[in-house]
Amino acid sequence: MHSSTIKKMKTSLNEVVNYHLKINDVDYFMNDLIDKKIKISWSGKVICSCGREMKKFYRSGFCYTCYWESPMASQSIFKPELCTAHLDIEERDIEWERKFQIAPHYVYLANSSGIKVGITRSTQGVTRWMDQGASQAVILAEVPNRRFSGDIEVCIKEHVSDKTNWRKMLSGEPHSIDLLEIKKTLSEHVPENLKQYICDDNSITNIKYPVLEYPTKIKSLKLEKIQTIEGVLKGIKGQYLIFEDGQVFNVRSHEGFVADFSVSSSNTQSSLF
Ligand SMILES: [Zn+2]
């Protein structure tokens, strides 16, 4: 990864989530920049994870070749129920797929904009929830490979969404949900042969975000459209920077963009977080 490209913010769970943005060899502690003016300027170039530089990505953050050939962009990445590495069947690169798929995974329930189901590698659990802006989360099942988590998710998403409504997520804290009650109900929909993986651990992870002001009217900013984003940061939730006037910037969806990041020194107000 090039140091000049945008990468998703690193998170850690504290009283509020702590965010770090590393770009051009500087590590910005983003929580300290809340209520300060920041600026992101795009160079007009993007760099794919394979190293190719271009004006824009072909699709989903990949160049044409990677989108059609890389195991990171295969069908099973978008549809885990299509994973076959545990059966030793190759999709694009069996070595890579074994490492990625044959590892413990969680099926979780989270509340970010209402209840949703999702899957993640078990080492990524809390990170995934913070990236999605979830306020509460609980593990529904822990399985030995990605395919099983996909099989469970397919059954559960007949009953609850598998998507986050990001506008709703960014417009405030969601109503608290009794995740354990929902876990109990949804556990009945786990396929019989996978019920053994339902997780006994019922601990709920609660997550708070450094947000001074939630926007009332949300406008999503895209570097392809405006090249330079400048404004006072009012909060961070999920992978979104929330600016004054309801403008929001999804850091993650700009991964690979070659950009400059700076903090305006004129505003010296101290942050509350
Ligand atoms: Zn590529």
Are both 224 and 114 inside the same structural domain?
A: no
In angstroms, what CA-CA distances link 95 with 85, 86, 88, 91? Answer: 9, 11, 10, 10
Expressed in angstroms and rounded, the spacing between residue 129 Cα and the centre of ligand 1 is 27
Are both 98 and 127 inside the same structural domain?
A: yes
Expressed in angstroms and rounded, the spacing between residue 45 Cα and the centre of ligand 1 is 14
H or E stretch covering 168: helix 166-170
Task: Report yes or no on 236 lying in a domain.
Answer: yes
Are both 32 and 139 inside the same structural domain?
A: no
Rounded to the nearest integer, the mean pLDDT of the chain is 94
pLDDT digits (tens, 9 = 90+) for 212-247: 999 999 999 999 999 999 999 999 999 999 999 899
Are both 86 and 40 inside the same structural domain?
A: no
Name the pTM for this structure: 0.93
Q: Which residues surround ligand 1, an ion (CB under 5 A)?
A: 48, 50, 52, 63, 66
Expressed in angstroms and rounded, the spacing between residue 62 Cα and the centre of ligand 1 is 5
With H, G, I as helix, E, B as strand and everything else as coil, classify residue 22: strand
Q: What is the span of the domain harbouring residue 115?
A: 73-206
Expressed in angstroms and rounded, the spacing between residue 53 Cα and the centre of ligand 1 is 9
**Contact (CB, 8 A) for 144 and 176:** no
User: Tokens 């990505």 — which residue?
Assistant: 57
Expressed in angstroms and rounded, the spacing between residue 69 Cα and the centre of ligand 1 is 9
Domain end call among 160, 176, 206: 206
Are both 22 and 87 inside the same structural domain?
A: no
| 188: Cβ contacts below 8 Å, ≥ 6 apart | none
DSSP 8-state class, residue 158: T
With H, G, I as helix, E, B as strand and everything else as coil, classify residue 30: helix
Q: What is the pLDDT of residue 271?
A: 47
Expressed in angstroms and rounded, the spacing between residue 114 Cα and the centre of ligand 1 is 35
CA 217/CA 266 separation, integer angstroms? 27
Task: Report yes or no on 4 lying in a domain.
Answer: no
Expressed in angstroms and rounded, the spacing between residue 194 Cα and the centre of ligand 1 is 36
Instruction: Specify the length of the chain in residues.
Output: 273
| CA geometry: angle 180, 157, 185, nearest 5 deg | 30
With H, G, I as helix, E, B as strand and everything else as coil, classify residue 114: coil
Mean pLDDT along residues 249-262: 97
Expressed in angstroms and rounded, the spacing between residue 112 Cα and the centre of ligand 1 is 32
pLDDT digits (tens, 9 = 90+) for 167-223: 999 999 999 999 999 999 999 999 999 999 999 999 999 999 999 999 999 999 999
With H, G, I as helix, E, B as strand and everything else as coil, classify residue 74: coil
Expressed in angstroms and rounded, the spacing between residue 60 Cα and the centre of ligand 1 is 11
Count the Cβ atoms, other than its own, within 10 Å of residue 222. 13
Burial of 211 per CB tally in 10 Å (0-12, 13-18, 19+)? buried
Expressed in angstroms and rounded, the spacing between residue 52 Cα and the centre of ligand 1 is 6
pLDDT digits (tens, 9 = 90+) for 52-87: 999 999 999 999 999 999 999 999 999 999 999 999
pLDDT at 148 over 70: yes
Expressed in angstroms and rounded, the spacing between residue 50 Cα and the centre of ligand 1 is 4
Expressed in angstroms and rounded, the spacing between residue 151 Cα and the centre of ligand 1 is 29
The fraction of the chain above a pLDDT of 90, given in percent, is 93
Task: Report yes or no on 105 lying in a domain.
Answer: yes
User: Tokens 């998170």 — which residue?
Assistant: 11
Are both 97 and 153 inside the same structural domain?
A: yes
Expressed in angstroms and rounded, the spacing between residue 102 Cα and the centre of ligand 1 is 24
- Alpha-carbon Rg for the chain in angstroms: 20
User: Tokens 């069996």 — which residue?
Assistant: 94
List 211's β-bridge partners, or say none: 235
Task: Report yes or no on 183 lying in a domain.
Answer: yes
Task: Report yes or no on 3 lying in a domain.
Answer: no
Are both 55 and 173 inside the same structural domain?
A: no
